[in-house]
Amino acid sequence: MYLLPGEEVMFDRTEDWLAWQEHAPEDYDFCPDWREPVYFVLCRGACPRERRPFACRTFPVTPYLTPGGELELRLDDDAVPVCPLVRGGDINLLDRRFLARARLAWEELIKDPRIGAHVEWESRNRDRTAGEPWRKLLR
């Protein structure tokens, strides 16, 4: 999973349950506004739960900004291969308290310009690919 910009300070790299990779934003399909290195971390399938990366904390939902700028939560299509809840296709199957807290977290995070730009960029990508036939293969 990749870390959000700035999240790397939450770790000191002595965590034996994480392996680190560092990439230039242009090496992958990242938000063009990102200038700093992007950190990928790979876990070994177990972690101290209170230390888990943010990507694990709101999985399997992802933030989506409407073209009008309203924040919504959606199931993360990229998680289809690994998550039966996403394959179920109904976000309302998830616990309401979890959804409410995930929303609060993302509301705060998108105030950071780098994260806000990323969520906007991902949302427009999602709009562009929404009707592509290959997406039906995932269901």
Q: What are phi and psi of 70, to 5 degrees?
A: -90, 135
CA angle 95, 63, 18 (to 5 degrees): 85
Q: Closer to ligand SF4 by CB, 82 or 104: give it.
A: 82
Q: Closer to ligand SF4 by CB, 43 or 83: give it.
A: 43
Which one of 11, 52, 105, 112 is in contact with ligand SF4 (CB under 6 A)? 52
Q: Is 47 in the site for ligand SF4 (CB under 6 A)?
A: yes
Which one of 46, 90, 95, 130 is in contact with ligand SF4 (CB under 6 A)? 46
Binding mask 54-93 for ligand SF4 (x = CB under 6 A): --x-------------------------------------
Q: How far apart are CA 43 and CA 56, in angstroms?
A: 11
Cα separation values, 72 from 7, 23, 111, Å: 22, 29, 15
Q: Is 45 in the site for ligand SF4 (CB under 6 A)?
A: yes
What contacts 24+ positions apart, CB below 8 Å, involve 22-29? Answer: none
Cα separation values, 100 from 32, 58, 72, 91, Å: 29, 10, 11, 12
CB of 53 to ligand SF4, least distance (A): 6
> Residue numbers of the site for ligand SF4 (CB under 6 A)?
43, 45-47, 52-53, 56
